[in-house]
Amino acid sequence: MSDRLYIFDTTLRDGEQVPGCQLNTVEKIEVAKTLQDLGVDVIEAGFPISSPGDFESVVEISKAVTWPTICALTRAVEKDIDVAAESLKYAKKGRIHTGIGTSDFHIFHKLHSNPDAIIERAVAAVKYAKKYVEDVEFYAEDAGRTENEYLAKVVEAVIKAGATVVNIPDTTGYTLPNEFGDKIKFLMENVNGVHNAILSTHCHNDLGMATANTIAGIMNGARQAEVTINGIGERAGNTSLEEIVMILKSRYAVLNIDTGINTKKIYGASRMVSTLMNMPVQPNKAIVGRNAFAHSSGIHQDGVLKNRENYEIMDPTDVGINESGILLTARSGRAALQHRLELLGFEVDKEKLDKIYEDFINLADKKKDIRDDDIALLVGDATRKERRIKLNYLQVVSGKDLKPMATIRLDISGEKFDATSSGNGPVDAAIKAVKQIIHRQVIIEEFLVQAITRGSDDIGKVHMQVVYEDNIFHGFGAHTDIITASVEAFLDAINKLPVAE
């Protein structure tokens, strides 16, 4: 008989901690519904004590989602647990995820405590959370660097106190796959009562080993994996959901473990999260990258044409990639667009569909084939809030041996402002013109330009990171004109600055 692995998705908590990826509550609900559709077992919806926005998101996601368990993160602190319990009051199934650092680094240099006192705090937190909910998960932060004998004592104590799931995070992404696998094996073999709870993996990707470590944990007895869509997360990210699910599916004969994930919804979920979080998916990303199923070399193309399995270990349609269905053109109607949106995991009402359709027709005038990434971008545009500072007009003159010049008009809260500037290139000239109008000391720290699909008529995406008064703000812009996309990205970041008195 096969075993079942529970998928715990933390895109909306650990994933959302990435600078520049923050979502508003409406967007989080949209992602949560997509995760539910995908079939995840648990949605970690936020860290309610950390901000009123996080609290509200957990409340609203609890109302919007019907069957997955909704989880709220806390420290091993009573106030955190009180607030988490309050945020979960509408959840059909609620879980509190509490915990504390267990490595020597955390015990001595972060918490300034000692190992026995940490066990006492861990037990007290679990017991306190149990007063509110039956389902309590405990995390032993930095378990990856925690000595196994001591970790076993912590795990045994929290299970005795009532923890239903014990999370063994490799917080710093440091362990090797065999070390992580051995750690889970050690706990399975040395913790009294270990079968009264589920052991969970939560691996970070600092050394590119998150997926390998998670699989090693599963092969040694962990039955919950904490993952994010596209592997997003702090620093190098978390274990990616799509990789774990497709490893278990593709290597089922060896691993004999199932998940409840509908794999055909993976591609849509990936595109939705990438769009709403403004986080590009690297082209060679396993499973969901643009090139994941592209065979460019002649030998491979020939082999695939003879028999797909010569070079493909997965069928792209299994993850929801269906090349023949991807193209839409200016002749496609509203129904075709809506159907495509549904396949991509977007639920839109009539008003939003009208707006997206209008933008779609405008884009189809400029670009021959509209692909899934383009559509996801249009949905992102329709979801974004009205901006205070808008680009009204932009004209640039540039070319070989010409001094680049830009003329710009901004609409700031309904008032129009014009400026003209030169620069060392057209983007530089346009940004300088914007700066003449906004009069604020903003420095561009990062400027990433990406073409989305293919062809010179493609949409260019620009991600920008700016610094203002020691704070970082992120902006995103997309347009078939790369200068316009750059100015839009700059304005997106500027719109997030505190409004000057």
Q: Which is nearer to Zn ion, 9 or 14 (CB)?
A: 14
Q: Which is nearer to Zn ion, 174 or 267 (CB)?
A: 174
**Could you tell me which residues are beta bridge partners of residue 89?**
none
**Could you tell me which residues are beta bridge partners of residue 394?**
408
Q: Which is nearer to ligand KIV, 139 or 293 (CB)?
A: 139
Biggest CA pair distance of the chain: 77
Choose one: 14-22, 27-35, 384-392, 471-479; the region binding Zn ion (CB under 5 A): 14-22
Q: Which is nearer to ligand KIV, 151 or 408 (CB)?
A: 151
Distance, in Å, from the CA atom of 152 to the CA atom of 149, rounded to the nearest integer, reads 5
Query: Closest by alpha carbon to 499, among 435, 443, 438?
Result: 438
The yes or no reply on residue 14 touching Zn ion (CB under 5 A) is: yes
The yes or no reply on residue 476 touching ligand KIV (CB under 6 A) is: no
Residues 135-174 as x/- pattern, contact with ligand KIV by CB under 6 A: ----x-x-------------------------x-x-x---
Residues 69 and 35 sit within 8 Å (Cβ to Cβ) = no
Q: Which is nearer to ligand KIV, 69 or 171 (CB)?
A: 171
Q: What is the DSSP string of 308-362?
A: GGGT-SS-GGGGT--GGGT-B-TT--HHHHHHHHHHTT----HHHHHHHHHHHHH
Q: Which is nearer to ligand KIV, 240 or 421 (CB)?
A: 240
What are the angstrom distances between the C-alpha of 104 and each of 151, 168, 181, 204, 277?
11, 15, 21, 19, 35
Residues 228 and 238 sit within 8 Å (Cβ to Cβ) = yes
Residues 204-233 as x/- pattern, contact with ligand KIV by CB under 6 A: x-----------------------------
Q: Which is nearer to ligand KIV, 202 or 474 (CB)?
A: 202
Q: Which is nearer to ligand KIV, 183 or 204 (CB)?
A: 204
Record the tokens describing residue 128, joined without a space.
């306190």
Residues 4-33 as x/- pattern, contact with ligand KIV by CB under 6 A: ----------x-------------------
Answer positive or negative: Cα dihedral of 91, 95, 98, 103.
negative
CB of 14 to Zn ion, least distance (A): 4
CB of 62 to ligand KIV, least distance (A): 20
Residues in the chain: 501
Q: Which is nearer to ligand KIV, 14 or 242 (CB)?
A: 14
Residues 202-231 as x/- pattern, contact with Zn ion by CB under 5 A: ------------------------------
- Number of residues this chain uses to bind Zn ion (CB under 5 A): 1
Residues with Cβ < 8 Å from 85, sequence gap 6 or more?
Answer: 72, 94, 96, 129, 132, 133
Q: Which amino acid is at 83?
A: V
Distance, in Å, from the CA atom of 85 to the CA atom of 95, rounded to the nearest integer, reads 9
Residues with Cβ < 8 Å from 227, sequence gap 6 or more?
Answer: 7, 8, 9, 10, 214, 238, 239, 240, 241, 244
The yes or no reply on residue 458 touching Zn ion (CB under 5 A) is: no
- Number of residues this chain uses to bind ligand KIV (CB under 6 A): 8
The yes or no reply on residue 243 touching Zn ion (CB under 5 A) is: no
Record the tokens describing residue 387, joined without a space.
């901006």
The yes or no reply on residue 135 touching Zn ion (CB under 5 A) is: no
Record the tokens describing residue 12, joined without a space.
């909306």
Q: Which is nearer to Zn ion, 159 or 203 (CB)?
A: 203
**Given the structure tokens 């990438």, which residue do they identify?**
274
Q: Which of 95, 121, 153, 202 binds ligand KIV (CB under 6 A)?
A: 202
The yes or no reply on residue 9 touching Zn ion (CB under 5 A) is: no
Distance, in Å, from the CA atom of 36 to the CA atom of 67, rounded to the nearest integer, reads 7
Distance, in Å, from the CA atom of 315 to the CA atom of 297, rounded to the nearest integer, reads 19
Residues 305-334 as x/- pattern, contact with ligand KIV by CB under 6 A: ------------------------------
CB of 233 to ligand KIV, least distance (A): 8
Judged by beta carbon distances under 5 to 8 A according to partner kind, the member of Zn ion, ligand KIV, none in contact with residue 139 is ligand KIV
Residues 89-128 as x/- pattern, contact with ligand KIV by CB under 6 A: ----------------------------------------
Residues 288 and 245 sit within 8 Å (Cβ to Cβ) = no
Q: Kindly give the pairing relationship between strand 443-451 and strand 460-468.
A: antiparallel
Judged by beta carbon distances under 5 to 8 A according to partner kind, the member of Zn ion, ligand KIV, none in contact with residue 141 is ligand KIV
Record the tokens describing residue 501, joined without a space.
């008195």
Choose one: 7-15, 214-222, 319-327, 474-482; the region binding Zn ion (CB under 5 A): 7-15
Binding site for Zn ion (CB under 5 A): 14
Where along the sequence are the contacts to ligand KIV (CB under 6 A)? Answer: 14, 139, 141, 167, 169, 171, 202, 204
